[in-house]
Each structure stands twice: as structure tokens, then as C-alpha cells.
């Protein structure tokens, strides 16, 4: 639950809703209070003008002791059901009339009827008579006291008790109206806000999902859709994509380095072993030759020596296969050398009936030796024809590109599984125990020794070997 | 013109579709009909309809004259500034020598009515005795039911009507007295029984807040009287129209509005009881 509340998916629409509710309520309350204040002011003003309007007739009623006249004036057309309580007091301070005749009886002393009534206070000569005093009674909030004068003598007083009672329902109406409008708006806005919140938060959720996969999966294979757009989240998405790409690149680089180091180590071992084996082998074969020449041999010895020699030759051949000497040839590579490879592969092509697309635009002076490059290309081409199988196709492109010879061999067919890909260029790979196993190792050795690089990528039924060799070849270690 | 032929003439007019709204034209001066604030004075629409009907019957305009006090109507009538007035039996007996009876309304079958003393229904007061030292509303000092009779009753009971109540005031109208008691302004009031009964039909919510605690014996109903100098012919004509009002459908409708059965011819002796009470209370006025 805590997690759910802390989620922006919840918090965003929730905060939208809360702010909408708060705004509406504050608005309703403010309007309600303002209305209440205005109504109170109006009430006071109306009471004062009403008091002034009936003052002259009430003086007459007091002088004539006409209770009914005073009462009918105070009673008004609503029959005493008006907002205010009106009380007419005679000169002796006793009640003369009221529009609440049951509560305020004729002749009742004012001090007894309204003991809490504040003193009217002196009124300046310039001041219009009549004053509204706030009081703190349960049902009375303001009191209007209007002295009734006749010829400079006070003959009575008109008192109005004003309450908020008539306005509270209106105030409540406004507040309740505000709440209802808010509720109405919210029934529309809440789902919309919810959806909007989800939409706003969705890219963040997407990013979070992507990020959580880093470390568990290889960056290269993390296919995340990241949010776009110009917003901060879009920028974040782009940064994240860039970071992911950098991460993938770094991982690839690391993998290549590990592979290169491993292959270099293997190469060193192979070369070392080959040299160590070749030296005694040479000695042994020389000894056999010397022995043959030095004396006539009986048939049995001759046969034994032949057997030994053949066996040693086989060892020498096997060891030499591991030792690639790329720069043994002094002839440099030409356009025709590459064309030769095509010719050499023709018989295999014919047998397997795999169509070959050949595109050779290499035509640049180069110091690259002809033989290893021919061997490299032939190896790769034959491999490709074999991998293409029935119904597959092979395409070869040779081109010059910024001081580099770029050779690309593509074949359709089964992709190479990832676990094989990592050890593809190693000699006698464990994954292909039945293959002869040195073809790609040789290719790798050649490319490395010529200062170039060889790489493979496989995707959606296409396996693509790419070889780049510097035209000024031979800068290798 | 005899009354009969006049009536026939008016009936013909009404039958011809001129009806009660027939506007009386010509140079004839309007008949000035004074009424007191009994219960009609707030019903201008009804008065206009009655005036129109009377105009059609009399062949001359009729104008109702209203004043706040009985006394003012009486003064106008005595000075011949009114031709006809509907006044109380009490002022009639005070000026019987100068005023002529035209007709007396009949209420509940007879030209009689009662005075009521009422109290607030929620006060718990059930007798006039209990109204002692309370607030009491008189209708008008020239009213029999709203002033003369309750004072006579109190005097008869050995009470001083001027000191029996804590305070009294005049409402200058019977419906107002009922209202004053219903709304709690007064604890009790003296009112015209006819007015109270009519209000009970028209506005029972108000009369339900009052309770009748005393009903007087029957008195002559407040009469319609003619001014001292109204010509005899006019008096006869007026009497005929009023007494004949029940025979006309519009007239009957107007009477129903008034809650009256009709108008009848009465002798001054009908008001002897009131005169006796007035004499007893104010011996000097009738010496």
C-alpha cells in the first residue's frame, strides 16, 4: 500500500484532484463569506432606511397611543415573519409595539425585555441618528437603535434586532452549491486526471522498467522503447538511450578485447609449441636422411625409416597448419587475385548450386601480400557456401575504403548460435568437433598479422563476415 | 316609477347583457355610500363589483367612501356628505332622531348578530374574568360589539371597564382585533360575531388561533342608514334595490361574498337593546 501511495501514478492524479477540491471549496467559502458580509451590510442599511422611513408615523403612533398603528407598521406585509425583530419603545423606556408581540409585550420595560442591550451612546450633532451596534447573542448579531425625536425631544426609540438567521441558509446554499459543482466537475475530471496522470507517468514507468533490466541482461540485447518528446522525461529517455548505447559499445569492446587477447594467447602458445616441436622434428628428419644416405638399408629398416619419416612429416604438417606466416609472400595483392578466388570456388559453387553475388571493385595500389589475402577470402567463401546449404545464397563485396580493403561475405542460412560466436575464431572449437577447425583460426591470424580485423555478425538468417585490411598492410604486430 | 317597474327595467338591462358592469352615465351625481372598517375595507375588488351592481340597479353611479374610524363616517353622514352608510347599531341609536333606517342585513336568517369576546387560543383564557389585568383590544369606541357591549357586561358584573384590563387599545376594525389576538398582540378582544364567523369561513387559520369566550345576546345587525337630508324617493328606491338584491343572481353572489342572506326592512325598535345599554353606560348622552 505504501508503495502504491508513493507512486506518481497515484500521487499525480490525486494531487490534481485535491487541488481542484481545495480550490473549489475555498472559492465557495470565500464567495459565501463575502456574500454573508454583503448581506449583513445590506441588512443593516435596509433596517436603517426602513427605520427612518417609519420614524415620523411611529412618533405619531406614540403620541396618539395608537398601538395598532405602531404594530401594523412594524408587522409589515409578511405578518411579523420578517428577518428582523422590531421594537418600538416609548419615552419612559417601555415597550410600545413589536413585530413579535408574543415575546415582547406591551408596557414591558426595555431593561427587562432586553437586559443585554448595550447603551446607545451619545450621537454627535452632525451625525445622522441611528446606529448599528454588533452584539453577541445567540440569535441577535447586530442591534439598530434609532431615537425618535419630535421637536428636539426624544419621544421614543426604534430598535431592530438583526440576526444572521435569514442568511445562513443562503450561505449554506452557496457552500453546498460549491461542493456539488466540485463533485460534478470531479466526476468528469477525476477519471481524466487519472488517465492524464497515468499518461504522464507512463514514460517514467517505462524508463524504470528498462533501468531495472540493466545488469540482469546484456546492454546490447536490451531492446527498450524509451520515452521521446521534448519534455524533461523525453530528455531523460534520450540520455538513457545514449547511456545504454555506450554501455553496449563498452560491453562489445570488452568482449572483443577478451576475445582478441584469448586468440593472441592461443596464437602465442601455438607458435611456441610449433617452434619447439619443429626444431627437434627437423633434427630427427635430418638424422633419418643422414642414416639413409650413409649405408645401404635392408628392406625392413628402409620401411621403418619411411614410416618414421611420414609420421614426422604429418606432425610437421599439423604443427605448420597452426603457424600462419602471413608475410611470407612478397607479391602484392591485385584485383585479379581476388577474381582468382572466385574462379577457385566455382567447382564448389557448382556442386552445391548456391548462387553467388560477386561485387569486386578493389583496384588500388597496396602493399598487402597476395597469398594470405587470397587464402583468407577463399576460406571465408568456402565456409559461406557450405553454410548457405540448399536454397541459400552468398554475396561477396570487395571494396576500397579510406586506405582500407573491406571484404564482406554474406550467406543466408542458419544463424550462428551466440555461444559459438564467442569462440568462433579459436582453433579446434569445441562446438564443431567434426570440422577440420582451422579455417577461421587461419583467417583470424592472417587478418591480425596484416594489421586488420575480422568480425562476424549474424542476424535473421544472414551471417556476415567483415574483414578490414589496411592497404599499407603489414603494420601489424 | 314604482319599485316594481324599476326592477323590471334593471332586470331587462341585465338580461340584455349589460350586466353588473353597466356603467352608469349621465349627469346624475354619484350616490355616496359610506362604509366602516368592518371587514370590507380591504376588499376593493368586491366593493367595485357591488358598486357596479348598485349603479346598474339605481341608474346612477355609486361611490363607496371609506374612512378609518366609525366616527368619521358618522360625521360625514350627519353633515349630508354621504347619502348612505353602513354603520353600527350603537352610533345609530345615538343619532336615531336624525338618521333613517334603510335596511338591515339578515345574517343566519335574521337581522341580528352577537358580540363576541375572544382570547388567544394558546393563552388558556376561557372566561372574561381571566382577562383581568391583561392586554385587551377594542375595535372602535363607536362599535356596539367591539366596545359598548363588553363594557356593559363588565359594568353589569360590577367591574370598572376602564380599570379591569391592564391596558387596552383600539384596532379600529373588527378583523384587526381578531388578528391582534391571533398574533398575540392582545390577550383578548371584543369583536363583531358576524365578522368573526365570516373570517372563520374565509381565513380559518387565523380564527383557529382565537377562542370565543363570551357570546352576547342577539342585537340588531349594524344597519344601513340614510343621511338626514336624503330625499324620501331616494330612500324608497335604495331600500327597494337592497331588499331586492336576493332576487338577482349577481346580487346573490355579492351577498354570498358578504356572508349575508340579504337585506330586510326593519323598525328602529330592533336597536332598543343597544339604546338601553348606551343609556345605562352614558346616562348624560341620552338624558
Residues 6+ apart with CB under 8 A from A263: A425, A426, A444, A448
Rounded to the nearest angstrom, the minimum Cα separation between A100 and chain B is 8
pLDDT in tens, B91-107: 999 999 999 999 999 99
pLDDT at A95 exceeding the cut of 80: yes
Interface test with chain B among A57, A62, A67, A108, by most B beta carbons within 10 Å: A67
Please give the pLDDT value at position B93: 93
What average pLDDT score do residues A446-456 get? Answer: 86
What is the helix (H) or strand (E) element at residue B198, kind and residue range?
A: helix B193-202
Separation of alpha carbons B94 and A268, rounded Å: 157
Separation of alpha carbons A467 and A455, rounded Å: 7
Phi, psi of A58 (to 5 degrees): -70, -35
Residues 6+ apart with CB under 8 A from A221: none
Domains of chain A: 2-115+129-169 (3.30.450.20), 249-322 (no CATH), 326-470 (3.30.565.10)
Confidence of residue A79 (pLDDT cuts 50, 70, 90): low
Minimum mean pLDDT range among A113-117, A240-244, A340-344, A437-441? A437-441
Output B5-14 pairs: Cβ under 8 A, ≥24 positions apart.
B6/B237, B6/B240, B7/B57, B7/B240, B7/B241, B7/B244, B7/B247, B9/B59, B10/B56, B10/B57, B10/B59, B10/B248, B11/B248, B13/B56, B14/B56, B14/B248, B14/B250
Confidence of residue B213 (pLDDT cuts 50, 70, 90): very high
Rounded to the nearest angstrom, the minimum Cα separation between A66 and chain B is 7
CB contact under 8 Å between A67 and B176, yes or no, is no
pLDDT at A477 exceeding the cut of 70: no
pLDDT at A11 exceeding the cut of 80: no
Confidence of residue A450 (pLDDT cuts 50, 70, 90): confident
Inter-axis angle of helices B193-202 and B174-182, nearest 10: 60
3-state SS of A391-420 is: CCCEEEEEEECCCEEEEEEEEECCCCCHHH
pLDDT at A125 exceeding the cut of 60: no
Domains of chain B: 3-111+220-286 (3.40.190.10), 115-216 (3.40.190.10)
Q: Are strands A131-134 and B62-66 parallel, antiparallel or unpaired?
A: unpaired
Interface test with chain A among B169, B171, B205, by most A beta carbons within 10 Å: B169
Q: What order of strands is seen across the sheet that includes strand B167-170?
A: B167-170, B135-138, B188-192, B115-120, B210-215
pLDDT at A78 exceeding the cut of 70: no
pLDDT at A298 exceeding the cut of 80: yes
Please give the pLDDT value at position A4: 67
CB contact under 8 Å between B185 and A106, yes or no, is yes
Q: Which residues of chain B are within 8 Å of residue A68 when distances are taken between CB atoms?
A: 137, 169-172, 176, 180
Confidence of residue B22 (pLDDT cuts 50, 70, 90): very low
CB contact under 8 Å between A75 and B183, yes or no, is yes
Query: From the centroid of its chain, how far is CA B108?
Result: 15
Bridge partners (DSSP) of residue A153 are A150
Confidence of residue B200 (pLDDT cuts 50, 70, 90): very high
Straight-line distance from the first to the last Cα atom of chain A, in angstroms, rounded to the nearest whole number = 63
pLDDT at A20 exceeding the cut of 50: yes
Q: From the list A66, A72, A102, which residue is nearest B184 (CB)?
A: A102
Model ipTM?
0.82
Please give the pLDDT value at position B256: 92
- B184 touches A: beta carbon within 8 Å: yes
Minimum mean pLDDT range among A319-333, B15-29, B134-148, B155-169? B15-29
Rounded to the nearest angstrom, the minimum Cα separation between B21 and chain A is 31
Look at B10 and B201; give whichever has higher pLDDT.
Answer: B201
pLDDT at B204 exceeding the cut of 60: yes
- B134 touches A: beta carbon within 8 Å: no
Confidence of residue B24 (pLDDT cuts 50, 70, 90): very low
Q: Which residue has the cell 579510406?
A: A402
CB contact under 8 Å between B135 and A106, yes or no, is yes
pLDDT at A27 exceeding the cut of 90: no
Separation of alpha carbons A271 and B250, rounded Å: 144
- A60 touches B: beta carbon within 8 Å: no
Please give the pLDDT value at position B222: 94
Percentage of chain A with pLDDT > 90? 7
Look at A214 and B35; give whichever has higher pLDDT.
Answer: B35
Q: Which residue has the cell 561477396?
A: A396
Rounded to the nearest angstrom, the minimum Cα separation between A105 and chain B is 7
Please give the pLDDT value at position B7: 46
Minimum mean pLDDT range among A1-5, A201-205, A415-419, B132-136? A1-5
Straight-line distance from the first to the last Cα atom of chain B, in angstroms, rounded to the nearest whole number = 42
Please give the pLDDT value at position A82: 64
Please give the pLDDT value at position B252: 94
Output A307-315 pairs: Cβ under 8 A, ≥24 positions apart.
A308/A284, A309/A285, A312/A281, A312/A284, A312/A285, A312/A288, A313/A285, A315/A277, A315/A281
Please give the pLDDT value at position A124: 56
Q: Are strands B62-66 and B31-35 parallel, antiparallel or unpaired?
A: parallel
pLDDT at B162 exceeding the cut of 60: yes
Please give the pLDDT value at position A329: 66
Phi, psi of A23 (to 5 degrees): -60, -50
Phi, psi of B62 (to 5 degrees): -120, 130
Inter-axis angle of helices B44-58 and B3-15, nearest 10: 120
CB contact under 8 Å between A106 and B183, yes or no, is no
pLDDT at A96 exceeding the cut of 50: yes
What is the helix (H) or strand (E) element at residue A308, kind and residue range?
A: helix A299-322
DSSP secondary structure of A260-304? HHHHHHHHHHHHHHHHHHHHHHHHHHHHHHHHHHHS---HHHHHH
Helix, strand, coil content of chain A in percent (nearest 5):
55, 15, 30
Confidence of residue B260 (pLDDT cuts 50, 70, 90): very high
pLDDT at A475 exceeding the cut of 60: no
Please give the pLDDT value at position B8: 46
Question: Which of the residue ranges A344-353, A464-473, B250-259 has the most confident prediction, judged by mean pLDDT?
Answer: B250-259
pLDDT in tens, A43-70: 888 888 888 988 999 999 999 889 999 9
pLDDT at B112 exceeding the cut of 60: yes
Which residue of chain B is at minimal alpha-carbon distance from A98?
A: B185
What average pLDDT score do residues A196-225 get? Answer: 78
Which residue of chain A is at minimal alpha-carbon distance from B123?
A: A102
Q: How many CB pairs under 8 A join A and B?
A: 32
Confidence of residue B262 (pLDDT cuts 50, 70, 90): very high
Please give the pLDDT value at position B145: 93
What average pLDDT score do residues A285-291 get? Answer: 89
Residues 6+ apart with CB under 8 A from A373: A333, A337, A338, A405, A446, A450, A469
Bridge partners (DSSP) of residue B144 are none
Separation of alpha carbons A268 and A445, rounded Å: 11
Please give the pLDDT value at position B3: 41
Please give the pLDDT value at position A476: 41
pLDDT in tens, A184-207: 877 887 788 778 777 777 778 878
Amino acid at each position: 500500500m505504501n508503495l502504491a501511495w508513493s507512486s506518481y501514478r497515484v500521487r499525480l492524479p490525486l494531487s490534481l484532484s485535491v487541488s481542484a477540491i481545495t480550490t473549489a471549496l475555498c472559492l465557495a467559502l470565500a464567495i459565501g463569506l463575502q456574500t454573508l458580509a454583503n448581506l449583513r451590510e445590506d441588512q443593516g442599511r435596509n433596517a436603517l432606511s426602513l427605520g427612518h422611513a417609519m420614524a415620523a408615523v411611529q412618533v405619531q403612533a406614540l403620541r396618539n397611543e395608537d398601538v395598532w398603528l405602531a404594530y401594523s407598521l412594524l408587522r409589515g406585509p409578511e405578518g411579523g415573519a420578517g428577518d428582523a425583530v422590531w421594537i418600538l419603545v416609548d419615552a419612559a423606556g417601555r415597550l410600545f409595539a413589536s413585530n413579535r408581540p408574543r415575546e415582547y409585550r406591551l408596557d414591558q420595560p426595555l431593561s427587562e425585555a432586553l437586559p443585554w442591550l448595550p447603551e446607545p451612546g451619545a450621537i454627535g450633532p452632525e451625525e445622522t441618528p441611528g446606529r448599528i451596534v454588533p452584539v453577541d447573542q445567540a440569535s441577535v448579531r447586530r442591534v439598530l437603535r434609532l431615537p425618535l425625536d419630535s421637536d428636539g425631544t426624544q419621544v421614543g426609540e426604534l430598535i431592530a434586532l438583526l440576526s444572521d438567521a435569514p442568511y445562513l441558509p443562503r450561505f449554506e446554499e452557496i457552500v453546498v452549491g460549491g461542493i456539488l459543482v466540485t463533485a460534478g466537475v470531479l466526476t468528469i475530471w477525476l477519471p481524466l486526471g487519472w488517465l492524464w496522470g497515468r499518461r504522464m507517468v507512463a514514460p517514467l514507468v517505462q524508463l524504470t522498467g528498462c533501468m531495472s533490466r540493466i545488469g540482469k541482461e546484456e546492454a546490447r540485447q536490451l531492446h527498450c522503447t524509451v520515452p521521446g518528446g521534448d519534455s524533461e522525461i523525453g530528455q531523460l529517455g534520450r540520455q538513457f538511450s545514449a547511456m545504454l548505447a555506450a554501455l553496449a559499445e563498452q560491453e562489445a569492446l570488452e568482449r572483443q578485447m577478451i576475445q582478441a587477447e584469448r586468440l593472441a594467447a592461443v596464437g602465442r602458445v601455438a607458435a611456441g609449441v610449433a617452434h619447439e616441436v619443429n626444431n627437434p622434428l627437423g633434427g630427427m628428419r635430418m638424422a633419418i636422411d643422414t642414416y639413409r644416405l650413409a649405408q645401404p638399408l635392408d628392406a625392413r629398416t628402409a620401411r621403418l625409416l619411411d614410416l618414421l619419416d611420414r609420421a614426422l612429416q604429418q606432425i610437421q604438417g599439423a604443427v605448420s597448419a597452426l603457424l600462419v606466416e602471413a608475410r611470407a609472400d612478397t607479391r602484392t595483392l591485385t584485383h585479379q587475385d581476388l577474381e582468382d578466388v572466385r574462379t577457385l570456388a566455382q567447382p564448389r559453387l557448382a556442386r552445391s548450386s548456391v548462387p553467388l553475388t560477386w561485387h569486386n571493385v578493389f583496384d588500388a595500389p597496396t602493399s598487402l601480400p597476395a597469398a594470405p589475402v587470397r587464402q583468407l577470402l577463399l576460406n571465408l567463401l568456402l565456409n559461406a557456401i557450405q553454410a548457405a546449404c540448399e536454397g541459400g545464397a552468398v554475396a561477396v563485396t570487395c571494396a576500397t575504403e579510406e586506405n582500407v580493403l573491406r571484404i564482406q561475405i554474406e550467406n543466408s542460412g542458419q544463424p550462428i548460435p551466440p555461444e559459438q560466436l564467442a569462440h568462433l575464431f579459436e582453433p579446434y572449437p569445441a562446438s564443431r568437433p567434426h570440422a577440420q577447425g582451422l579455417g577461421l583460426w587461419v583467417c583470424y591470424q592472417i587478418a591480425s598479422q596484416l594489421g586488420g580485423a575480422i568480425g562476424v555478425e549474424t542476424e535473421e538468417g544472414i551471417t556476415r563476415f567483415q574483414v578490414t585490411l589496411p592497404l599499407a598492410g603489414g603494420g601489424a604486430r | 316609477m314604482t319599485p316594481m317597474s324599476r326592477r323590471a327595467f334593471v332586470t331587462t338591462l341585465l338580461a340584455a347583457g349589460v350586466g353588473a358592469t353597466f356603467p352608469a352615465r349621465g349627469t346624475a351625481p354619484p350616490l355616496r355610500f359610506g362604509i366602516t372598517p368592518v371587514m370590507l375595507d380591504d376588499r376593493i375588488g368586491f366593493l367595485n363589483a357591488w358598486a357596479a351592481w348598485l349603479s346598474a340597479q339605481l341608474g346612477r353611479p355609486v361611490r363607496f367612501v371609506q374612512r378609518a374610524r366609525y366616527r368619521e363616517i358618522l360625521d360625514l353622514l350627519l353633515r349630508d356628505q354621504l347619502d348612505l352608510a353602513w354603520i353600527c347599531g350603537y352610533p345609530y341609536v345615538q343619532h336615531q332622531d336624525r338618521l333613517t333606517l334603510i335596511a338591515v342585513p339578515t345574517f343566519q336568517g335574521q337581522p341580528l348578530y352577537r358580540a363576541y369576546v375572544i382570547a388567544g387560543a394558546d393563552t388558556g383564557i376561557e372566561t372574561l374574568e381571566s382577562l383581568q389585568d391583561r392586554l385587551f383590544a377594542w375595535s372602535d369606541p363607536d362599535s356596539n360589539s367591539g366596545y359598548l357591549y363588553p363594557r356593559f357586561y363588565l359594568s353589569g358584573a360590577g367591574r370598572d371597564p376602564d380599570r379591569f384590563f391592564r391596558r387596552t387599545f383600539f384596532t379600529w376594525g373588527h378583523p384587526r382585533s381578531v388578528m391582534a389576538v391571533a398574533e398575540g398582540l392582545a390577550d383578548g378582544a371584543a369583536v363583531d360575531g358576524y365578522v368573526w364567523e365570516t373570517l372563520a369561513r374565509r381565513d380559518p387559520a387565523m380564527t383557529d388561533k382565537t377562542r370565543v369566550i363570551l357570546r352576547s345576546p342577539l342585537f340588531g345587525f349594524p344597519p344601513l342608514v340614510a343621511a338626514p337630508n336624503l330625499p324620501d324617493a331616494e330612500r324608497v328606491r335604495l331600500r327597494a334595490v337592497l331588499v331586492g338584491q336576493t332576487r338577482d343572481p349577481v346580487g346573490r353572489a355579492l351577498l354570498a361574498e358578504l356572508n349575508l342572506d340579504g337585506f330586510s326592512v326593519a323598525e328602529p325598535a330592533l336597536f332598543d337593546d343597544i339604546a338601553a345599554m348606551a343609556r345605562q353606560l352614558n346616562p348624560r348622552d341620552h338624558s
